[in-house]
A and B are shown apart, each in its own frame.
Chain A
Amino acid sequence: MKTFLIPATLLVLCVSAASAFAAPGTVLRNDKLYSQPNAASKAAGSVAKGASVNILSKQGGWLRVTSGKSTGWIRLLSVRAGAGGLGGAGLGDVVGAATTRSDPSRVVAVAGLRGLNDEDLKQAKFNADELARLNAWHETPAQARSFAAQGGLSVTNVAALPAPQPAQTPSTWEAN
């Protein structure tokens, strides 16, 4: 009896955890779904830019998503979380605004908290005491290295990422 109860409880916990994580998302580029969080694994389908997905879980640079009838792993940077669609430049803004309106509880939940605004920053007067406090926190490279070593962090060789190609043909200024 006991041995049965534990797996059953675990199963219930897992299911509730998974459903708690399930979140809407939008695909940002045409991409593949893989059977594993790994680009060498078998393809499990493909998704088109703008498609809606349901995000099930996350592992490293991968998200497990369902899109229509397919479920699989997609690169973290190929999807955005949230109900806002494609984002600032796309039709997403309209969808995002509509979603916010249709869910007034979310707006109320944050209404009491105020952010910084232009006026706060414009009117700001130099605070020498706070700056002195900030300047007093000074960690040396040696301290930073020892802190990194304690956490098992080590310097890794990673090449700089290329800047994306400009959409327009670059000017031939230099060639002239």
Chain B
Amino acid sequence: MKIKVMVLAVSLVSFSGVASGFDFGKLLEERINQELNKDKQTQPAPAQTSPSPDASQSAAAPPPSAKQKIDAGQLGFALFGDYSPEEETRIGKQIAGNLLGAVPLVRDDKLQRYVNLVGNWVALQSGRKDITWHFGVLDTEDINAFAAPGGYIFVTKGLYQRLNSEAELAGVLAHEVAHVTKKHHLKVLKQSSLIGALGQAASSKAKGSDQVVQNLIGNGAEIMARGLDKNAEFEADRVGIVFAARAGYDPWGLPEVLQDLAGLPAKDSRTSLLYKTHPHPADRLAELGDAVGGRLDALHGKDLPGRFYRLR
């Protein structure tokens, strides 16, 4: 990991030399050190909370050339501090819009409204009140679910059709809500992919697309294909099962979906992306079992199979 970051740092330093005169190298080195030490420190470094005056000065100093992809604003957006809720939503919108470019929404307003009601009820238990949640069912046979920053959550038709109750839907959505509240994708963006993305030329110029954000997230919706660290997935299972239980659902919805996926044949093209980006369901069940033990034994939540909106 360290070596990878160093290589990226070195390549970026040389890139910055070509692009313009300002001192990327020192900035980047500081930022990378902060990120690398973040997990080990209990208190964040003071420099993290706001852009340092030196940095913005040196970034603002050179006159930006017309063709230059990396402007000072983008740099500040990318490398300093935590993302504000507005920035997070901006990033989420771009990722969601790109994903919808690959696969559209199912044309069934009753279905979509139902999923939004279940999703919003679950998300209310997450404690995150500074964003607006949007849920959508994607029109593909692929079996998967996605979350983008800013509260954009998707479940594919292929997965939805395997579900048997509202509690199972709630479990799936809760896992995705947990990715958002734990800011898993934002952490990925900040830590590594973003450094590579900085050097990337812009490609799509679609209407309504946010070019600065597009430069951060790389090509199209490829951030969804890269996936997260397996510990982020285990954490989302652990946190999600609790969100669903707090919403009054039977907590076993998500584990039942994982059991169903575990029973699918290994070489199913509908799950290839899911398995590429997630630990095997058997490993997720085992990991969740370690965390749960007998802790949820006393709960008697609702399954609501009767209210579940069936998709033909």
B133-153 at interface with A (beta carbon < 8 Å) = 134-136, 140-144, 152
Cβ contact within 8 Å between A121 and B116: no
Q: Which of A113, A126, A140, A164 contacts B206 (CB 8 A)?
A: A126
- Tell yes or no: A12 within 8 A of B by CB: no
Using Cβ atoms and an 8 Å threshold, which residues of chain B touch A114? 141-142, 269-270
Q: How far is the CA of A119 from the CA of B12 in the complex (A)?
A: 26
Cβ contact within 8 Å between B307 and A151: yes
Using Cβ atoms and an 8 Å threshold, which residues of chain A touch B297? 38-39, 61
Cβ contact within 8 Å between A155 and B251: no
Using Cβ atoms and an 8 Å threshold, which residues of chain A touch B141? 113-115
- Tell yes or no: B219 within 8 A of A by CB: yes
Q: How far is the CA of A29 from the CA of B136 in the complex (A)?
A: 36
Residue-by-residue, is A72-104 near B (CB-CB < 8 Å gives 1, otherwise 0)? 000111111110111111101100110110010
Cβ contact within 8 Å between B143 and A126: no
Cβ contact within 8 Å between A92 and B282: yes
Using Cβ atoms and an 8 Å threshold, which residues of chain A touch B222? 118, 121-122
Using Cβ atoms and an 8 Å threshold, which residues of chain A touch B265? 99-100, 103, 106-107, 110
Using Cβ atoms and an 8 Å threshold, which residues of chain B touch A78? 289
Minimum CB distance partner of B103 in chain A: A116
Minimum CB distance partner of A147 in chain B: B117
- Tell yes or no: A152 within 8 A of B by CB: yes
B245-287 at interface with A (beta carbon < 8 Å) = 245-252, 255-256, 259-260, 262-273, 279-283, 285-287
Cβ contact within 8 Å between B290 and A164: yes
Using Cβ atoms and an 8 Å threshold, which residues of chain B touch A97? 266-267
In the complex, what's the smallest C-beta–C-beta distance from A82 to chain B, in angstroms? 4
- Tell yes or no: B93 within 8 A of A by CB: yes
If A60-B252, A122-B219, A156-B248 touch, does A82 touch B264 (CB 8 Å cutoff)? Answer: yes
- Tell yes or no: A161 within 8 A of B by CB: yes
Cβ contact within 8 Å between A77 and B116: no
Cβ contact within 8 Å between B97 and A77: no
Minimum CB distance partner of B210 in chain A: A126
- Tell yes or no: B53 within 8 A of A by CB: no
If A28-B285, A151-B307 touch, does A156 touch B100 (CB 8 Å cutoff)? Answer: no
If A77-B289, A121-B99 touch, does A87 touch B252 (CB 8 Å cutoff)? Answer: no
Chain A interfacial positions (CB closer than 8 Å to B) = 23, 26, 28-29, 38-39, 58, 60-61, 75-82, 84-90, 92-93, 96-97, 99-100, 103, 106-107, 110-111, 113-118, 120-128, 130-131, 133-135, 137-141, 143-145, 147-148, 151-164, 171, 173-174
